[in-house]
Structure formats: structure tokens, C-alpha cells
């Protein structure tokens, strides 16, 4: 099974040109599950599904910006509205759950996007705790994946909490222990323009709760797009 995550950066800048690159990448990478963040236009979400050829689209609504494309049929979904809110943001944060039937068993998928300010690790820690509670409530004993833009590097308390206390497996970290895997990268001119606000780091993750079923072995994990 292939799983992919990407923050699409809304409809900002040359977004239509960016989406042409994304559509080409979707065909090249051929992921079974795709979790996008910052897709707020539901008509465009359906256009994404149509143009990318995925049979299933799951949306939590334009409020969260979180969607899934899937080769497997969704059988249940729910959206968590997080109680923890950054004092510097005038909007809420969310986690989107979708359970899919792979034909050989079900998998619980969770897509999230946490607060962004570099100095708000305490906020993200509390959001991560809310996320984990939501996952445990919805996934129960199913194989489970959490993906998305966590806006924090691997040493941050929220990531340590997931990886060390809750024993979630960081797929990129496991397969690439000596690589930085930058996803906030100054080679991107938009990231470089924010150099004074945020350092280069890996802020996007795909976690699996335990190695079983379709997630029994991590064959590879890499930064794409």
C-alpha cells in the first residue's frame, strides 16, 4: 500500500500551475491513499478527484481543508474540531477520520494540520493529545495511519509524544534515519521568503500505529513533489 500526504497551499500564488504539477505527480506516484491539506473549495476537490482518476473522494467540508483521495471505498468518516486554539490564529484546527475497506480488511486513516507558529510547541502538543484521543476512539484495534502537516520538527514535544510514548512509527524516520527529509525547504521560494520566521525542517509526516495487516512492513518512505 502506498500513502501520500501534501499541503497544497490553498489557491495562493500560481496555484493552477502548481496543481498541474500535482496532477502529474499523482499519476507518477500512484498512491492508494492521498491526504491533502488546505483544499477549501469543495467543487475543486471533486475536480481533483475527477482529473486524478481516483474512484473515491472523502471531504470533511470546506471548513477544515482536509480531504482524502482513495482507491478503497470509505465506509465511515468523522471530523474532530480541536478545542485547542492558537492565540495567534483566528481559525480552528481539525483532524479528519476516514475508515476504508481495502477488500482484505479495513484501515483507519487520519489527516490533520496543526498550528503553524514556530514558537507554539505547547499549542501543538495539546492538539496532538486531542488527535491521539480521537484516533483511539475511532480506530480502536484497526490498522491506523496518521498523516498531515504537523508544523513541527521531529524533536518537538508533540512528535516525541507520538513516537516514544504512544509508539507510533514515523515511516520516514525509520527508513531514512540519517536524512533530514526537509518538507519546509528554502529551495522553495515561498519558504525561503519566510526564513526569518521558520527554519528549514521536516514538518510533514506519515505515522502508522503498528506494523500489521497492509501496514506490516515499511518498504520505503521519501519526500516527493
CA 172 to CA 207: how far, in whole Å?
9
Name the residue ranges covered by the structural domains of the chain.
3-215
pTM higher than 0.75: yes
CB neighbour list of residue 130: distance below 8 Å, 6 or more residues apart: 80, 82, 83, 84, 95
- Protein fold of 3-215: Deoxyribonuclease I; Chain A (3.60.10)
Q: What is the pLDDT of residue 42?
A: 96
Percentage above 90 pLDDT, the chain: 95
Q: What is the pLDDT of residue 212?
A: 85
CA 99 to CA 74: how far, in whole Å?
6
Any idea which residue has 499519476 for its cell?
A: 27
pLDDT digits (tens, 9 = 90+) for 148-170: 999 999 999 999 999 999 999 99
Q: What is the pLDDT of residue 142?
A: 96
CA-only gyration radius of the chain, Å: 16
Helix (H) / strand (E) element for 171: namely: helix 171-175
Q: What is the pLDDT of residue 139?
A: 97
Using the predicted structure, report yes or no on whether residue 122 has a pLDDT greater than 90.
yes
The DSSP letter of residue 196 is: T
Beta pairing, strands 56-59 & 94-101 = unpaired
Amino acid at each position: 500500500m502506498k500513502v501520500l500526504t501534501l499541503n497544497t497551499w490553498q489557491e495562493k500564488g500560481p496555484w493552477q500551475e502548481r496543481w498541474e504539477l500535482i496532477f502529474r505527480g499523482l499519476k507518477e506516484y500512484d498512491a492508494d491513499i492521498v491526504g491533502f491539506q488546505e483544499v477549501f473549495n469543495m467543487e475543486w476537490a471533486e475536480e481533483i478527484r475527477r482529473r486524478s482518476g481516483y474512484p473515491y473522494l472523502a471531504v470533511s467540508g470546506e471548513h477544515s481543508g482536509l480531504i482524502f483521495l482513495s482507491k478503497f471505498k470509505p465506509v465511515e468518516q468523522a471530523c474532530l474540531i480541536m478545542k485547542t486554539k492558537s492565540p495567534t490564529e483566528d481559525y480552528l484546527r481539525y483532524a479528519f477520520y476516514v475508515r476504508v475497506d481495502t477488500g482484505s480488511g479495513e484501515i483507519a486513516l487520519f489527516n490533520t494540520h496543526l498550528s503553524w507558529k514556530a514558537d507554539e510547541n505547547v499549542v501543538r502538543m495539546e492538539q496532538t493529545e486531542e488527535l491521539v484521543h480521537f484516533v483511539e476512539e475511532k480506530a480502536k484495534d484497526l490498522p491506523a495511519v496518521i498523516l498531515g502537516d504537523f508544523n513541527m520538527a521531529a524533536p518537538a514535544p508533540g512528535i516525541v509524544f507520538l513516537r516514544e510514548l504512544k509508539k507510533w512509527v514515523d515511516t520516514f524516520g525509520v527508513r531514512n534515519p540519517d536524512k533530514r527529509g526537509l518538507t519546509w525547504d528554502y529551495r522553495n521560494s515561498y519558504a525561503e521568503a519566510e526564513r526569518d520566521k521558520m527554519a528549514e525542517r521536516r514538518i510533514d509526516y506519515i505515522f502508522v500505529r503498528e506494523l500489521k495487516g497492509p501496514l506490516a512492513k515499511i518498504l520505503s518512505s521519501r519526500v516527493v513533489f
